[in-house]
Chain A
Amino acid sequence: MLRFILRRLLQMVGVVIVLSLLVFLWLRSLPGGTVSAILGEKATPARRAALEKALGLDQPIYVQYWEFVKRALKGQFGSSTGVLPGSDAFQIFLQRFPATVELSFFAIILAVLLGIPLGYMAARRRATWFDNGTVVGSLIGVAVPVFFLAFLLKYWFAIKLHWLPVSGRQDPGLDATRVTGFFVVDGVLTREWDAAWDAIKHLILPALALATIPFAVIFRITRASVLDVMDEDYVRTAESKGLTNRVIRGRHILRNALLPVVTTIGLQTGGLLVGAILTERVFSFGGLGEAVAIAFERRDYAVLQVCILMAAITFVVINLLVDIAYAVIDPRVRTR
């Protein structure tokens, strides 16, 4: 087990190193280069040369990469030029990270709570109208562009019906106390229940939009997996032994069918980050996703490099954790 974890950790370090190299090369090959990105196209040659020297761009490329890595390890990615001009890019990342984590967490909980039971029910009622309807429904969910769905939800439930807030994470008039950066958790910790409830209301629409694709994926994996397991010999044995339906469903079918679902949930983190870019932009949610969207619009490369690097690292770490969890549940994985 320890060897398995160590091997995966080493692999992860390798991936992160290559990734840093890619982000570094990407920054250097952006149109006009870093200098134009910061100073604009019309800067005087003297100013360009000065900035080039200040950024170390006159050094050989491997020296530049080494400097980039050293600065990255210290969290120095330069100042933002577009998202919040002048402030430190890494600070922007740290401030906005909790918002996206909170939103993604809500979305994945929604997706799991709907996807697993519906997937199980669809498999048990195979080839009925319920099965066909939910399968086609989940496929429609995948076919709708996420940002369009977000617009629809916002237009209908926030602007027309006024049921839920239009944008943001919390009503600024509430003047809630900040502890962790997770607004719902903050509200609960400080017992400001109205603040927590307000944060939840702000989460519902973006989380719904964000949850569609993970829901569709979890639903279909659960359905396929339950269908597979239902035909296994041990389920037939359990049935012929006369075990109650409840025991067969819970212990024999669901527990075995959920193994692939666990991996899928881990793989969804990348998709959640992408979805967050689109939904947060629509709802002006103030998380990482919105920062990335604005950074691309305004070419804020300082913020982009942090976000791309950290998004990829988050994805790799979460999948490492999922793999370890999987190895704990299923010993066969370890020997691979």
Chain B
Amino acid sequence: MNIRNSKYEEALQRYHEKIANAATEDMVLNMGPQHPSTHGVLRLELITDGEIVKDVIPHLGYLHRCFEKHAESLTYQQTIPFTDRMDYLASMNNSHVWVMGVERMLGIDKEIPKRVEYIRVLVCELNRIASHLIAIGTYGIDIGAFTPFLWCFRDREHIMGMLEWASGSRMLYNYIWIGGLFYDLPVGFEERCREFITYFKPKMAELNQLLTENQVFIERTANVGVLPMDVAINYGCSGPMLRGSGLKWDLRRIDNYSAYPEIDFDIPVGKGEMGTLGDCWDRYKVRVDEIAESVKIVEQCLDRLQKELKRTADFDPRAKLPRKITPKAQDYYIRGEGAKGELGFYFIADGKSEIPFRAKSRGPSFNNLSVLPEIAKGVMIADLIAIIGSIDFVLGEVDR
């Protein structure tokens, strides 16, 4: 089974030679895979000259769970729990995109009841807030600020509790189903959610005072890890990474899917307020602003869900669930805005079975992380930590 063709081994040899031939004054340093600042099991091989990082070689795959292989042996519906486990900090967003893709292939995307669409957007945005809270909190702790981490987790816990109430699970929900939802929202959810929003708004103002405008934090992040817009586009960066570089590109507005066209929200972009456009602080600030926008979206969803789309006794979120999910033979690429950026699924359906012939997932973290060696050349090791934190990747999705 071993391949004898040396052509395929060339790159591996080049890599080994590069490590072996590092100059004597250079040091090869392994950061991770168990280092907390790599946000999961990522190993970065650094070639350093003193404090200066000369080269970064990321090693992935410690969390590879064969998403694509599993998807080729399970039906579309059965794969939804696997999508939850990709970006486990924003599970709702993942399953939303997957479900949307299958619905469009089946041609039932226009028949989904409005209430279902609004509930989907509501839970997705709650989940986005939770994901950004983690991003901000852990970023603080990377830089050396411990308090925001605890505050963010305290507030995130409310969201976890609410989503658990709706779906029965704390992190991996399996809540959004093809054609509908697992269950309707529990009675009293909307009121509880409103309470949370009222509670949460002043907390964000506090957090901004503590971290966003903190002079030490600004010193550590402004002008660090500058990612110019053209580099970001060429490397396929998306989400807050791309918006932090100043480009107004949000698939919720570009593709106008689900209930987003009826909702009013802004797209925050980096402006280079504290330093250069596209630095770590800009990316951080985009996430903070996005939380405020998500709060706006949640409020609008609640307005609709409590007025014209009220819960009725005969409302069944599973009414449109297709009995048999067999899309006709076609290729389809679906993209949507996950918490980290453009999340895409590429389906090949053969038209005969309920199992996709091929399902490729394009994770935003995977692409966002790939730019790291480019922007981390020549920085200090401490700044590298700041850059990694500002990318905000989730290894579950990098490795899939």
Q: Is the A/B pair a real complex?
A: no
Which B residues lie at the A interface, using CB under 8 A? none
Which A residues lie at the B interface, using CB under 8 A? none
